[in-house]
């Protein structure tokens, strides 16, 4: 041992004794685990701990805990091509592996056909009040069936958009299977336009108007099915907004009325500024009646509709309707984490990722953000 040569004994200390103590500790360190790493008492029991991370999951999810992954490659709810590619991009970036690592059995359902009825051009595409309503309606009808089936089987339903018009299908399906469902809408936009009130006619800004019965689906070509199935209307007190910062004139009027008269919870980025995301989420989940009290038998199911444009464009640049001043990275994760911590989360949409709109590296970052937000909502924890 080289350290032996470097030993200098202070005056009065027997050199041989000190040397032997020193060498003993060096040997002990080099050997790694030996007698001095023995712990006794309660600490010793920790050596047998393999999983300290088990969360409370809703009782309506069956065992073994299974995630049904449904692709909804929709692009007709808005004018930019590219949203149709994101289900595949999210899968290729490692979605299944992430979910498996979190303890989920993954049931991949593939992509639902989100195109219009066969037979040529969609008449509503020309600039009607609800653009491409035949395609959006037909796709969402198929999607609602797929979501209903998997939710009714007791699976966690994860739907990968697509633009946000797909929420018309996911909410119709999940509400039919779990009628008490509450909805956390994380978005820069309110998506509650009526066809007449919408400045653009893009249906990704309208899903809530139909699901909440504020617009009559029977008057829109392609959406008639929504009146014919036994889908309960989503009541205003059962939806909470987080992340709002770009609201159209008609939407503002509707939101004011719904807030004042019907108990709708609509928080904006200003609320996040003032209260912090922690308090905003506490208030949102309280308003929905899904506070995390740890009692999984109590409380209603929760659905998280996560529009990637809720996140600031610096963090999530690859999306179609970017608005500055959004949630930062941690705030976005916090939204997802606090939803799953209620023990009531049973379904989620991840929408509006459009990798065609930016440089590849920025697109990959946005896809990655979507992936991490999904993992956070499905049980990924820092500790």
Q: Which of these, 211, 187, 189, 210, lies nearest to 200 by C-alpha position?
A: 189
Stretch that binds Mn ion, among 27-35, 123-131, 136-144, 302-310 (CB under 5 A): 302-310
**CA atoms 119, 123, 124, 127: torsion sign:** positive
- 80 contact partners, CB below 8 Å, separation of at least 6: 320, 354, 356, 357
Which of 189/344 has CB closer to Mn ion? 189
Beta-bridge partner residues of 78: none
Q: Does 307 bind Mn ion (CB under 5 A)?
A: yes
Q: Do residues 110 and 51 lie in contact, with contact meaning Cβ atoms separated by under 8 Å?
A: no
The Cα 150–Cα 137 span in angstroms is: 20
**CA atoms 24, 30, 35, 41: torsion sign:** positive
Which of 166/345 has CB closer to Mn ion? 166
Stretch that binds Mn ion, among 82-90, 181-189, 283-291, 364-372 (CB under 5 A): 181-189
The Cα 382–Cα 379 span in angstroms is: 10
The encoded tokens of residue 358 equal 């930016």
Which of 191/337 has CB closer to Mn ion? 191
Q: Which of these, 356, 353, 349, 346, lies nearest to 369 by C-alpha position?
A: 353
DSSP per-residue letters across 257-273: HHHHHH--EEEEHHHHH
Q: Does 251 bind Mn ion (CB under 5 A)?
A: no
Please, what is the minimum distance in Å from the beta carbon of residue 319 to Mn ion? 10
How far from 69 is each of 110, 159, 370, CA to CA, in Å? 7, 6, 14
Please, what is the minimum distance in Å from the beta carbon of residue 377 to Mn ion? 16
Which of 162/301 has CB closer to Mn ion? 162
Binder of Mn ion out of 84, 129, 187, 331 (CB under 5 A)? 187
Catalytic site positions: 164, 187, 189, 191, 204, 307, 309, 352
Strand order in the sheet with 66-72: 105-111, 66-72, 156-161, 345-351, 302-307, 182-186, 239-244, 265-268
Please, what is the minimum distance in Å from the beta carbon of residue 374 to Mn ion? 16
Which of 84/307 has CB closer to Mn ion? 307
DSSP per-residue letters across 204-252: GG-HHHHHTTSS-GGGSTT-THHHHS-PPPPPGGGEEEEEE----HHHH
Please, what is the minimum distance in Å from the beta carbon of residue 231 to Mn ion? 20
Which of 307/331 has CB closer to Mn ion? 307
Please, what is the minimum distance in Å from the beta carbon of residue 310 to Mn ion? 8
Stretch that binds Mn ion, among 52-60, 68-76, 188-196, 277-285 (CB under 5 A): 188-196
Stretch that binds Mn ion, among 118-126, 212-220, 269-277, 306-314 (CB under 5 A): 306-314
Binder of Mn ion out of 129, 191, 246, 271 (CB under 5 A)? 191
What is the phi-psi region of residue 32: left when phi exceeds 0, alpha when psi lies from -120 to 50, beta otherwise? left
Q: Do residues 245 and 325 lie in contact, with contact meaning Cβ atoms separated by under 8 Å?
A: yes
Which of 302/350 has CB closer to Mn ion? 350
Give CB contacts under 8 A, 24+ apart, made by 253-257. 254/192, 254/197, 254/214, 255/190, 255/192
Q: Does 245 bind Mn ion (CB under 5 A)?
A: no
Stretch that binds Mn ion, among 16-24, 66-74, 187-195, 224-232 (CB under 5 A): 187-195
Please, what is the minimum distance in Å from the beta carbon of residue 186 to Mn ion? 9
Which of 99/186 has CB closer to Mn ion? 186
Stretch that binds Mn ion, among 77-85, 145-153, 304-312, 330-338 (CB under 5 A): 304-312
Please, what is the minimum distance in Å from the beta carbon of residue 191 to Mn ion? 5
Number of residues that bind Mn ion (CB under 5 A): 5
Please, what is the minimum distance in Å from the beta carbon of residue 109 to Mn ion? 23
Q: Which of residues 140-169 bind Mn ion (CB under 5 A)?
A: 164
Task: Provide the mask over 349-378, with x wherever binding to Mn ion is found by CB under 5 A and - wherever it is not.
Answer: ------------------------------
Q: What is the binding site for Mn ion (CB under 5 A)?
A: 164, 187, 189, 191, 307
């Amino acid at each position: 041992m080289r350290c032996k040569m470097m030993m200098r004994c202070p005056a009065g200390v027997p050199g041989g004794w000190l040397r032997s103590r020193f060498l003993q500790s060096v040997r002990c360190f080099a050997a790694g685990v030996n007698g001095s790493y023995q712990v006794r008492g309660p600490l010793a029991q920790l050596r047998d701990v393999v999983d300290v991370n088990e969360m409370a999951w809703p009782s309506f999810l069956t065992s073994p805990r299974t995630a049904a992954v449904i692709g909804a490659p929709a692009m007709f709810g808005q004018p930019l091509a590219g949203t149709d590619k994101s289900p595949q991009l999210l899968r290729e970036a490692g979605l299944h592996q992430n979910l498996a690592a979190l303890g989920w059995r993954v049931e991949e359902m593939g992509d639902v056909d989100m195109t219009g009825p066969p037979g040529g051009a969609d008449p509503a595409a020309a600039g009607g009040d609800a653009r491409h309503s035949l395609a959006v309606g037909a796709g969402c009808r198929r999607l609602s069936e797929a979501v209903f089936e998997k939710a009714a089987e007791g699976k966690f339903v994860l739907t990968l958009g697509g633009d946000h018009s797909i929420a018309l299908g996911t909410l119709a399906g999940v509400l039919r299977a779990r009628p008490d469902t509450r909805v956390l809408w994380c978005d820069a936009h309110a998506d509650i336009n009526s066809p007449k009130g919408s400045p653009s006619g893009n249906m990704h800004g309208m899903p809530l108007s139909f699901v909440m019965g504020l617009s009559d689906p029977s008057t829109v070509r392609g959406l008639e099915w929504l009146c014919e199935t036994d889908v309960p209307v989503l009541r205003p007190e059962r939806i909470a907004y987080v992340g709002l910062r770009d609201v159209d004139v008609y939407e503002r009027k509707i939101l004011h009325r719904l807030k004042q008269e019907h108990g709708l919870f609509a928080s904006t980025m200003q609320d996040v500024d003032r209260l912090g995301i922690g308090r905003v989420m506490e208030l949102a989940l309280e308003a929905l009646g899904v506070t995390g009290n740890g009692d999984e038998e109590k409380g209603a199911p929760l659905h998280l509709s996560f529009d990637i444009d809720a996140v600031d464009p610096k963090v999530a640049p690859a999306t179609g309707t970017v608005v500055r001043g959004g949630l930062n990275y941690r705030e976005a994760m916090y939204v997802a984490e606090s939803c799953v911590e209620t023990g009531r989360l049973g379904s989620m949409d991840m929408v509006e990722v459009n990798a065609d709109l930016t440089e590849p590296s920025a697109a990959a970052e946005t896809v990655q953000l979507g992936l991490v937000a999904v993992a956070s909502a499905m049980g990924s924890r820092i500790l």
